[in-house]
Amino acid sequence: MSDYLIRVLEEDEKRAAQSVFLGSLHVGPATDESWEYSGDGYPAQRCFGAFREGRIVGTAQSFASSMAVPGGAVLPLAAVSRVGVRADHTRRGVLTELMRAQLRQVRELGEPLASLHATEPVIYGRFGYGVACRGRTVEVGTTRGRAVPPLPGDGEIRLLETDELAAELPRIYERIGLHRPGMMSRPRGWWRMQLERRIALKDHLVAAVHSGPDGDDGYALYEPTMVNISPDERDRRLDVHDMHGASLGVVLGLWRFLLAADLVRWVRAWGRPLDEHVELILPNRGDCRTVELGDETWLRLVDVRAALAARTYGAAEPVVVEVHDRLLPENSGRYRVGPDGVERSDASADLELPVDSLAMLYLGDVSASALAATGRLTVHEPSALTRADRLFAADRSPNSGTFF
């Protein structure tokens, strides 16, 4: 690594960094039109480059966000994105040094959490990230005139005009709030890249808004798509890109609307929460098919004590957890975790685990028992395992629902 320099990018270096990132995904450089929107996703002072002989060969960036954790607290979050190294400079420790510099900065900024979406899952465990949320991609056959059981609650659906999307959807998302563990805030740059860019490119985006007694409380952003059924037959599908509601009832009301669409054969939605049981509102639950169950959010506890202290815990006697963190050694140590709070401890460890396994446990997606059974957690006091299962359990399945 002595031939490489890791530093924060200057403003006029960010587009070159974007090209390095896209090249690592085997994609060509961004067009001027695309860069007009994606450039907003490179915040000042949060973009790192790896340089050799004055040329940028690797990059990693983050943007400031926040994430809800079990119990309702919302913590500052670094949303990590656009990580890549040129193919002729991989396997030389460049990515490790980029991650080290970025994590050190995130800690100095006072953000106890970092998250990302992994293109290659085998990469990020060694940097302390663990899968903290999973999501399922579902494909649901439309009802096509069949009666759908009525749902409890009041609400109406309206469609937005295209020129309303950029103003209305951020407003509704903020109004809904971060009510599920794993949900994260969306800064202006996110909306520019993920929504306004697609509107400018004339993508056929449609938004259905759910309004309850207190006003707008949910929406579904979707796109009609023609898909091949056989070599000689095509049919229309609705692809749901973004759907959120203030309650499960609101989300199921949006599902009910989508499934009643005329001239549509299926509705497909990515990364839905595991406890969003859309099959229960169907005349035939077999019409709902899970196409994929996969990783949705990778989480990193950058400040272990602050992160552990911020969430709530179930009713059980405390456990002493010993954490190992290679990249941020100040996190390493023993923590007494219980319903009354979290503190550093000199007591013997009941359980021992690396920081990436702690991330898997943190939002309640995976139990301590499951981590122990798969060798990701070492048990020193067997009775502590059941206590840890109760302590770290969450009332709702965690899910971010935000891709970046």
CB 308 within 8 A of CB 320: no
CATH class for domain 5-134? alpha beta
Maximum CA extent, the chain: 70
pLDDT (0 to 100) of residue 133: 97
Helix (H, G, I), strand (E, B) or coil at 331: helix
pLDDT per position in the chain (404 positions), as tens?
Answer: 679 999 999 999 999 999 999 999 999 998 988 898 888 888 889 999 999 999 999 999 999 999 999 999 999 999 999 999 999 999 999 999 999 999 999 999 999 999 999 998 899 999 999 999 999 999 999 976 565 667 887 799 999 999 999 999 999 999 999 999 999 999 999 999 999 999 999 999 999 999 999 999 999 999 999 987 777 778 899 999 999 999 999 999 999 999 999 999 999 999 999 999 999 999 889 999 999 999 999 999 999 999 999 999 999 999 999 999 999 999 999 999 999 999 999 999 999 999 999 999 999 999 999 999 999 999 999 999 999 999 999 999 999 999 99
CATH superfamily, region 304-392: SCP2 sterol-binding domain (3.30.1050.10)
CB 373 within 8 A of CB 108: no
Copy the structure tokens of residue 132: 């903290």
CB 324 within 8 A of CB 308: no
Buried-exposed string 188-206: b where 16+ CB fall within 10 A, e elsewhere: ebbbbbbbbbbeeeeeebb
First-residue to last-residue Cα distance in the chain: 29
What's the CA gap between 343 and 358, in Å, rounded? 16
Domains 5-134 and 135-294 share a fold: yes
What's the CA gap between 278 and 270, in Å, rounded? 13
Distances (CA, A) of 110 to 34, 222, 302, 307, 328: 32, 36, 9, 11, 14
Domain ranges of the chain: 5-134, 135-294, 304-392
What's the CA gap between 93 and 123, in Å, rounded? 12
Give the predicted TM-score (pTM) of the model.
0.94
What's the CA gap between 373 and 118, in Å, rounded? 25
CB 95 within 8 A of CB 58: yes
Copy the structure tokens of residue 51: 């340089």
Alpha carbon 356 to chain centroid, angstroms? 16
pLDDT (0 to 100) of residue 146: 65
Q: How many residues does the chain have?
A: 404
- Looking at domain 135-294, its CATH architecture is 3-Layer(aba) Sandwich (3.40)
